[in-house]
A = this chain, B = another copy of it.
Amino acid sequence: MNITDNERDAVYKTIFSRRDVRSEFKPDPIPQDVLERILTAAHHAPSVGFMQPWDFILVQSDGIKSVIKKGFEKAHAESAEMFDENKKQQYKRLKLEGITESPLGICVTCDRSRNGPVVLGRTIKPEMDLYSVVCAIQNLWLAARAENLGVGWVSIVHDSVFRDTLGIPDNIDIVAYLCVGYVSHFNEKPELEKIGWLPRQNLESVIHYDKWSSK
């Protein structure tokens, strides 16, 4: 099956305009058919040994979102103390999540024992199943962008908050909590680039030829 130049350009447009959304969520509900399409895209990610180790917990309850938001606030306060004084003030001013503003949260997990103990392709590198789940997340993120939906990955919450609130069994790993919803706009650049938190690296600086080269 051939991808045309126009189709290729659409993929790049989607990749380059995808953002980690925190501030721009609108409350508009996500239509069922759109939700099914982005979940189907996630489910068609590559997975090690065709293991498909992912699960998606769709969070729509305001009560549950409030508990997760409180978990964020606690972890965020702990995190602020880790930065040096200069960065700490800037860090505290940043809006880093849209947990209660976005209409949908998706907790993405990894069942590391799915389909038995020996998984083709995971025999030497056990973390491959977690990486498969991240491939599913990136598929979902791009599919969402293609549907003009924003996604924000919230990583500043202790796993125990999700485990307790969502009833996730002990043998299931928590990989991500994603906020999903329509947005007022997509920022032209990543926020952390725009505010000067860190610059975008030159591509050439991360490319090596046949051997690792110190740059």
Contacts and interface: CB of A to CB of B under 8 A. Distances in A.
Nearest to A176: B131
The number of chain A residues touching the other chain, given as a range, is: 35 or more
Given A131-B175, A212-B169, A206 B148 contact: no
A14 B11 contact: yes
Describe A's contact surface by its main secondary structure: mixed
Given A82-B123, A166-B211, A139 B139 contact: no
Interface in A158-182: 158-159, 166-169, 172, 175-176
Contacts of A208: 55-58, 166
Contacts of A137: 131, 135
A44 interface: yes
A192 B43 contact: no
Which residue of A14, A43, A83, A156 has the most chain B CB atoms within 10 A of its CB atom? A14
